[in-house]
Copies of this chain bind each other. A is one copy, B any other.
Amino acid sequence: MAAAGGARNHTPVNPPRLQDVATLAGVSTATVSRALSGKEHVSARARAKVQQAAQELGFVVSYHASSLASGRSRNIGVVLPYVDRWYFSTVLEGVAGALIEAGYDLSLYNFEGDRYRETVLTDFLLRKRLDAAVAVSLHLDPTDTEQLFSAGIPLVGVGGTLVGAPTISIDDLDVGRRATEHLIGLGHRRIAHLGGAEEGKRYFPMSNNRRAGYEQAMARAGLPVQPAWSLIADYTFTDAYHRTKNLLADPIDRPTAIFAASDEMAAGAILAARDLGLTVPGNLSVIGVDAHPIGEAFGLTTIDQHTRQQGVRAVGRLLEHLAGENSEPTNEVLPAHFVVRNSTGPATDPIDT
């Protein structure tokens, strides 16, 4: 038999059940249930009595019982590869806020890179406790998604494409192109790119697309893309700092501008330039992507991808899906905007003809 319920370490009071409220209000449990969940077919009078009684008893429905009986749990899973990185924690803030507003609980599943990928997918996500899930910047095989779908868990993706599910993202190719064109428009011809790695099967092709946008813009302008100037970093400030320092070490043959795929990397690049005695944007222009708060102090020009909003919109899409609307597995593209500060300026280096 189940535990008698009650507190585990203090005043062990038996929490009131729906039946208690019904008795006190002088109605049936069915009416209490309807009244409390805001359903139709309850007289104003009954509703009032029920609310009064529930209030008096300090009643809160048991989610387990409610979920078991109804098949819905008002609980959404959020699956991501990292939580201590800016992009992910910011999307998470957006998702969490939107979920609270909608009255949903949030179950967090962190892969920690690939470490818990299998465990989460196999042991956690399938326990039928989720109404749906949002996958942030994750690459899920059709096998993985199919498994979730057939467990009755609809999915919405953020940050790229996901087979068979609706997704929210920005146009990374376009972002890469616009950032590069901003630099080209300022007269730069020697432009390097600091992007992310492909990262196996874990990620959406975000990094690749921004890099492709860079290459496309360069090609259109008839500019060469030197392999040595197309760097791969791990999206951290420090890694970008070190790689940029090496990149800029040669005073004769160095770029006059850098397009970094994230603001943290862009800021690291700026610091590296300064440590080398170069001025920004005097000797080097730098543009990033994100509108990360650290960019302000660096005077960083960037493209705002409205990260938090991506999370908010993902929840919106999910709720629409749950309501049976807009559940086509299409990709919804969110806009991204320039934020021009002063890390980018006209190319002046005489070397750069």
Residues of A within 8 A of B (CB): 2-3, 5-11, 13, 15, 60-65, 67-73, 75, 78, 82-86, 89-90, 92-93, 96-97, 100, 103, 105-110, 112, 115-116, 119-120, 123-124, 126-129, 146, 149-154, 164, 236-238, 241-242, 268, 271-272, 274, 293-294, 296-298, 308, 321, 327
Within 8 Å CB of A119, what residues of B? 100
Q: Are A110 and B100 CB-contacts (below 8 A) given A60-B127, A149-B11?
A: yes
Main secondary structure of the interface of A (DSSP, over half): mixed
Q: Which 5 A-B residue pairings sit nearest by Cβ, starting from the closest?
A: A3-B71, A10-B149, A241-B297, A7-B152, A64-B68
> Please, how many angstroms separate the alpha-carbon atoms of A68 and B5 in the complex?
10
Contact between A97 and B69, CB atoms less than 8 A apart: no
Which of B8, B297, B308 meets A238, CB within 8 Å? B297
Scoring A6, A61, A100, A321 by chain B CB atoms within 10 A of each residue's CB, the highest score goes to A100
- Chain B's nearest CB lies how many Å from the CB of A293? 6
- Interchain Cβ contacts under 8 Å between A and B, 12 examples: A11-B149, A11-B150, A15-B151, A15-B152, A60-B151, A62-B128, A83-B96, A93-B110, A96-B110, A97-B116, A107-B108, A268-B297
Residues from chain B with a CB closer than 8 A to the CB of A84 are 86, 89-90, 92-93, 308
Nearest B residue to A11 via CB reads B150
